[in-house]
Amino acid sequence: MIEEIGTTELGELVVNLGPQHPSTHGVLHLVITLSGETIKKVEPHLGYIHRSIEKMCESLSYRQFIYVTSRMDYLSSHINNHGCALCVEKGMQIEVPPRAKVIRVLMDELTRLASHQLWWGAMAMDVGALTPFFHAFREREAINDIMEKTCGARLTMNYMCPGGVAFDLHPDFQREVKAFLAFFHGKLDEYDELVTDNVIFQGRMEGVGYLSREDAISYGCSGPTARASGVSCDIRKLSPYEVYDQVRFEEVTGTGGDCFARYKVRMGEMRQSISIIEQLIDNVPEGDFQAKTKAVLKLPKGEFYSKVETARGEFGVYIISEGATTPYRIKFRSPGFSNLSALDHMARGHKIGDLVAIMGTLDLVIPDIDR
Amino acid sequence: MDVRQTFPGQVHPTAGGGILVTKLDEVINWARSNSLWPLVFGTSCCAIEMMSTASAKYDWSRFGFEVARATPRQADVIIIAGTIVNKMAPVLKRLYDQMPDPKYVIAMGACATSGGPFFYNTYSVVKGADHVIPVDVYVAGCPPRPEALLHALITLQEKIRSGAS
Amino acid sequence: MNPQELKQQLEALLPSPTFEEGGEWTTLYTDPATWAETARRLRTTKVLDLDYLFCVTAVDWKTHFTMVYHLSSTTHRHTLVVKIRLDHEHPEVATVSDIWRTAEFHEREAYDLMGVVFTGHPDLRRLFMTDDWKGWPLRKDYEDPVNMIKL
């Protein structure tokens, strides 16, 4: 039902949580039907950042379309690029050299850390605590500086390409990452002390936005959202790619299914990412950073699907090729799209403050949803 | 920096103190430029660099952009950080109309300047925010570095101080 | 369950299924008339238990449309791809949003961008484009001289 803003016949109030709102998740328009202060229905209106990426990719070559996926989920831009590169390599049967595989995994995990840091800061800001925002950005700047020396950009780096990575690691990379890890270890405990153990924060998060295991699967949720409801769905464990089958890490799951469980899963994931980086940073193999490929790539006729685990969940790239230099049809399966469809189910019966907390723990990035 | 060096006008030293001679317009422009409050408006990736500019490393509140307001009724400058698409253009126009005068606009990033990487073969992107509202300062970059955004903000301040806006 | 066993199970379950060869996962062809029943069987049969729908794609082949559903099972960890061939003039297929709740949004997207009508959908309207947008943008014959600047 399309609700008009105003009052319905039952005396319920219909309000906008408009496209421009300070929760800085992007442009999400929610039409909320309230009875008193309790939410009866939440209806997301999308499309305020729909940039017709899938249509655009039909006219870009297989090397060019990777840059545009950086801008879809810009907080996991490396991981998105990685997914596209994997799909093209699957189609062209390109073998990636071991050095490139390890570099890709290192960059992925650093990106996951940076994304979770920003999530933590922004979510605490939504719930009302402004200080963690500055703490989170201080750590994120350290990762951005490391990325900038190697990849050339801070946010949307087009570093992965079919066959490997675009440039070799900067000579200071290992030293700087080790310094960062030494600096960041104590910070996670500081985060726990500042926010996780805070009684007010726990009161805001516990029991809010419950998502059961069956609902999480039915709504297609993935990533920390589903793992907090008990669904074991980490792509890095189920269908490992690159060197994920050779590093030791755990899949962090929870059983609570509420906001606090999702929060704990992401904090746990940060620790696992640190552990993966520590295992790999001293063992980067020597060799080529890029396999020899032709300048113009032509995928053979057929369909190729590859999935990677971004900070938000499962990102899928589905390429249908007719043998030309540009794809015939590309579909990006974005994690936020399915996670958002569970928002209405989770928010019913809560108040608007709880809705903001639920949106914060879903970790939505709207350009990823709208593509 | 001694405020008398940046405050517009001339100081004539006399016995018992000094007399400041200036034009009222210049004083008003000086005051306006040093306390521009931005509106929280980020659509896509440039919003993250805007948030970086607001946080501790590249702090923009040193220059007077202290409070980022959520409502356009209390904001002076709107920083369009991100792509504007056909569905969002009326919303942007409405926000601009709701801002009280004097108001300024900064188009941050390639998408807001001209459509950016989404220029060709897209059916839904507005090719430049200046198709919707008048823009004062354009910043290049995809996304622009926080220093570039600070440079744009300072340029806007100079533009206001010189009376061009 | 590996692709061979999955194929055997499907052959036992469904009346005369057609498969596509090649490809990473088992691919099944269905017609739009029997899709609702087939989907219910794929979801409820214990040995298949395909409870996770992770990708719904509509492809425009100029002479016909194809709907591609990627399904997987969280218990048995196998993947199945279902393809349905639709008419180009009136592409219509039954909805599966009552079986897999994620399909609500995915089908709205396919309707908005390709014009495929899903019968039985609780709320089929445009998702990304404005409500009064004319045309189906992702189709191959979509022309928009006002907005699209061709390279």
| pLDDT tens readout for residues A44-90 | 888 899 988 998 888 889 888 888 888 888 898 899 999 999 999 98
Contact residues on chain B for A16, CB-CB shorter than 8 A: none
**Cα–Cα distances in angstroms (integers) from residue A188 to residues A271, A325, B137, C128, in the given order:** 8, 46, 40, 39
* Partner-chain contact B121 A56, CB within 8 Å: yes
Residue of C126, C127, C129, C146 to mutate, testing the B interface (most B Cβ within 10 Å of its Cβ): C129
Share of chain C above pLDDT 90, in %: 12
Biggest CA–CA distance in chain A, Å, is 70
Going by C-alpha positions, the residue among C18, C19, C44, C28 that lies closest to residue C100 is C44
Q: What are phi and psi of A180, to 5 degrees?
A: -65, -40
Question: Helical H runs in A58-159?
Answer: 66-70, 77-92, 98-127, 131-151
**pLDDT tens readout for residues A170-202:** 888 999 999 999 888 888 888 888 888 888 888
Task: Give chain C's domains with CATH numbers.
Answer: 3-119 (3.30.460.80)
Instruction: Tell me if chain B has a CB within 8 Å of the CB of C142.
Output: yes
- Please report the domains of chain B, with CATH numbers, ordered by start residue: 1-34 (no CATH), 37-158 (3.40.50.12280)
| Angle at CA of residue C27, ends C22 and C30, nearest 5° | 135
Band (pLDDT 50/70/90 cuts) for residue A4 is low
Beta bridge partners of A13: A7, A34
Q: Residue A332's pLDDT is what? A: 92
Angle, CA of A42, A44 and A50, to the nearest 5°: 175
- What number is the average pLDDT over the span A224-248? 89
In DSSP terms, C60 is beta-bridged to: C65
Residues of A in contact with C53 (CB under 8 A): 220
The encoded tokens of residue A9 equal 């016949």
On average, the pLDDT of chain C sits at 86
In single-letter form, the type of residue at position A164 comes to G
Distance from CA of B162 to the nearest CA of A (A): 32
Q: Which residues of chain B have pLDDT under 50?
A: 1
Question: Is C148–B123 a contact, with Cβ atoms under 8 angstroms apart?
Answer: yes
Chain C residue closest in CA terms to B125: C147
Per-domain boundaries in chain A: 49-370
**Is residue C138 less than 8 Å (CB to CB) from chain A?**
yes
Subunit contact B48:A19, Cβ cutoff 8 A: no
CB contact (8 A) between residue C137 and residue A55:
yes
Residue A23 pLDDT greater than 70, yes or no = no
B121 close to A (CB below 8 A) = yes
Q: Does C137 touch chain A (CB under 8 A)?
A: yes
Chain C residues with CB-CB distance to B120 below 8 A: 149-151
* pLDDT(A10) > 90: no
Q: Residue A5: is it exposed, middle or buried by C-beta count within 10 angstroms (0-12/13-18/19+)?
A: exposed
Instruction: State the Cα–Cα distance between residues C56 and C107, nearest whole angstrom.
Output: 7
Residue A114: the pLDDT is 92
**Residues 74-133, chain C: which have Cβ within 8 Å of B?**
128-130
**CA–centroid distance for A241 within its chain:** 17
pLDDT at A238 over 70: yes
| Confidence grade of residue A24 (pLDDT, cut at 50, 70, 90) | low
Asked if A25 and A5 count as a contact pair (C-beta separation under 8 A), the reply is: no
Average pLDDT over residues C124-146: 86
Give chain A's mean pLDDT.
Answer: 88
Burial class (CB in 10 A: 0-12, 13-18, 19+), A193: exposed
Please state, as a whole number, how many other Cβ atoms lie within 10 Å of the Cβ of residue C140: 11
**Tokens 């002076």 correspond to what residue?**
B76
Provide the pLDDT for residue A295: 85
How confident is the model at residue A177, as a pLDDT?
92
Please give the structure tokens belonging to residue A344.
């209405």
pLDDT confidence of residue A11: 77
- Distance from the B143 Cα atom to the nearest Cα atom in chain A, whole angstroms: 7
* Whole-angstrom distance, CA of residue A70 vs CA of residue A81: 6
Nearest to A332 by CA among A313, A310, A365, A307: A307
**Cβ-Cβ contacts under 8 Å, B57 against chain A:** 137-138, 141
CATH code for A49-370?
Answer: 1.10.645.10
